[in-house]
Amino acid sequence: MDSICVNARAKINLSLDVLGKREDGYHDVKMIMQSISLHDKVFLKLTDDKDIKISCDKRWVPSNSDNIAYKAAKILMDKFNLQKGLDIKIVKNIPVAAGLAGGSADAAAVLKGLNEMFSLDLKQEELMEIGKTIGADVPFCVKGGTMLAEGIGEVLTEIEPLKNVDIVLVKPKFSVSTPWVYKNLNLEKIISRPDTDYIISLIEKRDLKNLGKEMVNVLEAVTIKKYEVIGEIKERLVKLGAFGSMMSGSGPTVFGIFENRATAQKVYEEMSMDNRWDCFLTETFCEER
């Protein structure tokens, strides 16, 4: 196989709690991560020049070794001494630095694609272990679905899949630095934390109405304080009919969950009229087990 195209799916957080800071500088988290249908397309093509080349249709995405997808290819090709070159082309649909794990999804797609192209027969768990060395969200992006994520985000436990829930994403036209958010998070001043076990039970029952009410992201305390528009978006989504709304990851993307596609479509159209942000109509995604 000389070429392959892999879908790299974005994620949202249905809850996000930060438990403490580790000695290595990272934070211990407890969060629920969910794949969504919004995805990049990652095209891989083998070449004879033994170089890794990367390109993207969005000029602001790095097209060099700084790109996490390049790093994923480099690690796997070095590890297995794969004597070929590789062209990586990314068609970017997931917003950058948006709390949606777009870069991690691209890296995971490279790992999965190379595993298939070279018939490495690596199990999913082995790809996740390699992914962990690249970024905390990469193991989840390899596995996908509905997961409880602990540790720095790499310790994953399957939850009952939350399929086909209609989602509206709203991404303000600025980016947020994840390290900046964590640096400014005061763990002692967190007032509201998610009841993660209860949220898991609501997911298992597919109780979307109460799930919407219970979703909490402790990082909002940092990001909304600096960017008030995030709070405005949350309020508007709920006012327009979302069961609940929350910032994903460190932001700034906000999502709302909806009862059905018709309501989500109407809200998507309404929110799209404001040029302060970009909107996406999507749904939760889980592959068949």
Q: Active-site residues: which are they? A: 11, 137
Dihedral sign for Cα atoms in the order 258, 214, 35, 52: positive
Tokens of 289: 């087990």
Q: Please report how many Cα atoms fall inside a 13 Å half-sphere around the Cα of residue 288, on the Cβ side.
A: 0
Tell me how far apart the alpha carbons of residues 266 and 278 are, in angstroms, rounded to a whole number: 15
Alpha helices in the chain (DSSP H): 68-79, 102-117, 124-132, 138-143, 178-183, 196-205, 208-214, 220-226, 228-240, 261-271
Q: Give dist(CA 281, CA 279) in Å, integer.
A: 7
Interatomic CA distance for residues 69 and 63, integer angstroms: 10
- Residue 2: which of 45, 33, 43, 40 has the closest Cα? 45
